[in-house]
Amino acid sequence: MNSDKTSDRDITAQDMRVDGAGGRLFVRRWSTGGAEGAGLPPVILLHDSLGCVELWRDFPARLAGATGRTVVAYDRLGFGRSDPHPGRLDLTFVRDEARGAFSTLCARLGIGDFVVFGHSVGGGMAVGVAGAFPERCRALVTVSAQAFVEDRTTEGIREAKRGFDQPGQMDRLRRYHGEKAQWVLDAWVETWLSPQFASWTLDGDLPAVRCPALIIHGDQDEYGSTSHPERLAALTAGPATVGILPGCGHVPHREAAPAVIDMVARFLRREAR
């Protein structure tokens, strides 16, 4: 365990592992320990295609401090400190997360109602979660989520793949994913550039989202235009708020963390008590 000071609150971070269907998942939980957040649904974070718990950096602690809520993040199977994935990603992997690892995590940690927060493909997974558990999901937050496969998305992935071909670049992934690094990269590139995945969209999932949604996107996102937040907001059944961050790329919670934290804290105070 470790603790730090964020927004004048003592934040305690606890690491644990939970057993999932395909292997053990690494989980970290940030708690304020105060009475203010008692009874409030926790925020559960879903990471991006190359992400893991460690790559959220200090954002979860800062979010816990700003909202008074417990924040939970986990490494999906095959990522970070979770067990290796047994094979290739299914083309339905975005939707499958809700009934798979996410559901297992909530059961193991005794989580009932929750707020789900996802970055990039994790945002798509968060949409699936909100639609799968409409009675328990109190609010949805997406950051840089893709709603469909756009040319900008695939071009950005091809450019990133070329970057990882350069000497030493895979070391960046190994730092967080160890021996699973090549699988992590291949799972991202091969899935999203697959012809079979080209027709993927969230169109069938969004109408099942009935909770309030906050949809955050940078106007300079290299993996998706503002067509994505527009589509997300248009197709959700519940009320949706769109926040476009000027001059911001694909990782707003690092590039514009204070703005993102403020937007999320205000949204949750208003919509998810």
Q: Where are the domains of the chain?
A: 2-271
- The per-residue pLDDT for 1 is 34
Q: Which parts of the chain have pLDDT scores under 70?
A: 1-9, 34-38, 273
Distance CA 87, CA 28 (A): 25
Q: Which of 25, 133, 14 is nearest to 71 (CA)?
A: 14
Distance CA 180, CA 182 (A): 6
- The per-residue pLDDT for 221 is 98
Adjacent-strand bridge partners of 45: 73, 117
The vertex-118 CA angle with 41 and 190, nearest 5°, equals 150
Crossing angle (nearest 10°) for helices 181-192 and 151-164: 150
The CATH number corresponding to 2-271 among 1.25.40.20, 2.40.50.100, 3.30.360.10, 3.40.50.1820 equals 3.40.50.1820
- The per-residue pLDDT for 36 is 52
